């Protein structure tokens, strides 16, 4: 019987590799690791679970055992994965519908739980993630602002620019001049 471990602070493909490494180093047979969770072949006993938790914590991760926290982390990981590694321009449905389908829970319940736990709304978290992705794409300089707006599912460049200025206090073009100074790593958002 396999066991799924829910893990906080996994935000990128390197995190997936590190969690896999930690679990294997702790003697676990790893079936799969994705953002926010890892499936191992057997259920570890209490001592092994404690060792795994310590080893993960040493690398900046947190083993979750509370169901509400697991749901919030699943929401956060879904948003990060979709915004940073997905194709928002190809999304046919909004985040609320996709989250409800993924978690098989009412969106209003998910929204309330997220707000209580994170002191921000799911919508604000999505906006933060999108703005961080915009910053990344601006720094790379490979896409125009119009292409960035389309790629991230904005209705217009004006909408993206307005949201960017509201969150950062800067216009996208001013930010581009500043380059890396205003970027934050995903795990610090």
Grade residue 40 by pLDDT with cuts at 50, 70 and 90.
very high
List the alpha helices (DSSP H) in 34-144.
46-58, 67-85, 95-103, 107-118, 122-140
CATH architecture of 3-65: 2-Layer Sandwich (3.30)
Outline which parts of the chain fall under CATH 3.30.70.100: 3-65
Average pLDDT of the residues in 10-33? 94
Distance, CA of 134 to CA of 121 (rounded, Å)? 20
| pLDDT tens, position by position, 103-126 | 899 999 999 999 988 999 999 999
Name the one residue in this structure whose structure tokens are 């800067």: 170
User: What stretch(es) of the chain map to CATH 1.10.10.60?
Assistant: 67-189
Q: How confident is the prediction for the chain on average, in pLDDT?
A: 89
Query: Tokens 């001592």 identify what position?
Result: 47
Tell me, what's the pLDDT at 181?
55
Give the model's confidence band at 93: pLDDT under 50 very low, under 70 low, under 90 confident, else very high: confident
Confidence of residue 94 (pLDDT cuts 50, 70, 90): confident
DSSP conformation letters of 21-34: HHHHHTT--EEEEE
The phi and psi torsions of 121 (rounded to 5 degrees) equal -90, 165
Q: Give the CATH number of domain 67-189.
A: 1.10.10.60
């Amino acid at each position: 019987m396999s066991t799924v471990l829910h893990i906080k602070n996994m935000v990128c493909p390197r995190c997936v590799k590190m969690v896999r490494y930690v679990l294997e180093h702790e003697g676990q047979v790893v079936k799969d690791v994705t953002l926010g969770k890892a499936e191992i072949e057997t259920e570890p006993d209490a001592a092994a679970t404690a060792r795994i938790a310590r080893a993960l914590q040493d690398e900046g991760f947190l083993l979750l055992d509370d169901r509400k926290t697991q749901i919030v982390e699943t929401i956060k990981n879904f948003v990060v994965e979709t915004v940073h590694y997905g194709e928002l321009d190809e999304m046919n449905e909004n985040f609320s519908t996709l989250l409800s389908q993924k978690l098989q829970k009412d969106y209003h319940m998910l929204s309330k739980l997220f707000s209580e736990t994170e002191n921000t709304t799911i919508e604000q978290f999505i906006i933060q993630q999108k703005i961080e992705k915009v910053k990344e794409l601006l720094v790379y300089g490979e896409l125009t602002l119009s292409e960035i707006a389309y790629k991230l599912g904005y209705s217009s460049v004006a909408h993206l620019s307005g949201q960017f200025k509201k969150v950062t206090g800067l216009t996208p073009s001013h930010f581009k001049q500043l380059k890396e100074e205003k970027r934050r790593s995903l795990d610090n958002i």
